[in-house]
Structure 1
Amino acid sequence: MSTTTSGGTPTWLDPEEERAWRAFRRMVIAVQTGTARDLAAAGLSEPDYEVLSTLSERPGYTSTLHEQAAKMGWSRSRLSRHATRMETRGLIRRASDPADGRGCLLLLTEQGLESLTGAAPAHVASVRRHFVDRLTPADLAALEGIARKLVTDLPQTDMP
């Protein structure tokens, strides 16, 4: 499917495509705004929660900076700056990666695990309130199918 014509002009969205695109953007913004606001009440940002929850699921509560950045769709430098802020707050710590002399490991601290454990029930309730409970099982299945088509450029760690 081409995004430009043979003359190099963009193939503009037709009205139906434009409506779908704008509806998708409004949906993402509405759900993210609601869940981010609820996480903030627990003292965490969405990226904080993503890092903490990922580390909590990994053996030894550890991941490489590279793997985590890829999972989040962030550059390593962006995640490194965010990890510095999390480390300052005692949520994670960094260590050298013995498998890669230039690499870095992110490790979940006890304080980070406590923060995650404290925030998780409210976060799940928030996800239900802003997303799951507003959809039927058929809606959820359709949305999952759509998501699988759209996330082909991201690691598939969250989508078995």
Structure 2
Amino acid sequence: MRSWRAYVIGSELLRQRLSRELQESEGIALPDYEVLVRLSECDGWQMRMSHLAGQVASSKSRLSHQISRMEKLGLVKRVECPDDARGVIAELTQKGMDTLRAAAPTHVEGVRAHLVDLMTPEEQKVVAALFERVIEHLDQG
């Protein structure tokens, strides 16, 4: 129970802090930053919406609303999927990439200061292995 409670409270406090730091420095929310990162890592800065939802641990409906809001800000745009008329692709815009580049140092500093630097290299490996196992388990079913 101690581990579970520490994880729940610690992870929520960490997300709140990282989000606040991004909002204050760059005016961007952490979930939007995460979408920008995922898109920036893809060829052509594009990803199918259904796949993106899984990458950011979001429902398709919630991601659709988020992408709509981000489109209004000029950070992303929707593109029709050439292979599937029902599919929709989210694409990072140049403004989105510029926003990501401006926000990245704040995010990296926050993750280091509030998590990575608090762990030994051995603890970092244990945490990574544990959550990779959790993700694999939950992705199976």
- TM-score after normalising by structure 1: 0.82
Q: Which residue number in structure 2 is paired with residue 32 of structure 1?
A: 15
Q: Could you tell me whether the CA contact under 8 Å between 1:61 and 1:108 is conserved in 2?
A: yes
Q: Cα gap change, 1:143/1:48 in structure 2, threshold over 3 Å: closer, same or farther?
A: same
Q: C-alpha offsets along residues 84-131 of structure 1, whole Å, 9 cap, x if unaligned?
A: 000000000111111111111111101000000000011100111111
1:15 corresponding residue in structure 2? none
Gaps of 5+ in 2: none
Q: What is the match of residue 108 of structure 1? A: 92
Are 2:47 and 1:63 equivalent residues in the alignment? Answer: yes
Distance 1:154 1:43, change over 3 A: farther
- From the CA coordinates, give the structure whose radius of gyration is larger: 1
Letter of the 1:50 counterpart: E
Residue 126 in structure 1 maps to residue 106 in structure 2: no
- TM-aligned CA deviation for residue 47 of structure 1: 1.3
Structure 1 equivalent of residue 6 of structure 2: 23
- Count residues in correspondence: 138
Which among 58, 76, 82 is matched to residue 74 of structure 1? 58
Cα contact 2:39–2:91 (8 A) shared by 1 = yes
How many percent of aligned residue pairs carry the same amino acid? 36
Deviation beyond 4 Å, 4+ runs, structure 1: none
Relative to the length of structure 2, the TM-score reads 0.93
- C-alpha contact (below 8 Å) 1:71/1:154 kept by paired residues: no
The answer to which structure has the higher helix fraction is 2
Q: For 1:47 and 1:154, how far apart are their aligned partners in 2?
A: 20
Superposition CA RMSD, Å:
1.3
User: Partner of 2:80 in structure 1?
Assistant: 96
Unaligned runs of 5+ in 1: 1-17, 156-160
- Taking the aligned partners of 1:73 and 1:101, their CA distance within structure 2 comes to 24
State the Cα distance separating 1:32 from its structure 2 match: 1.0
Please report how far the alpha carbon of residue 36 of structure 1 lies from its aligned counterpart in structure 2 after TM superposition. Answer: 1.0
Q: Following the alignment from structure 1 to structure 2, what is the Cα–Cα distance between the partners of residues 94 and 52?
A: 13
Residue 70 of structure 2 corresponds to which residue in structure 1?
86
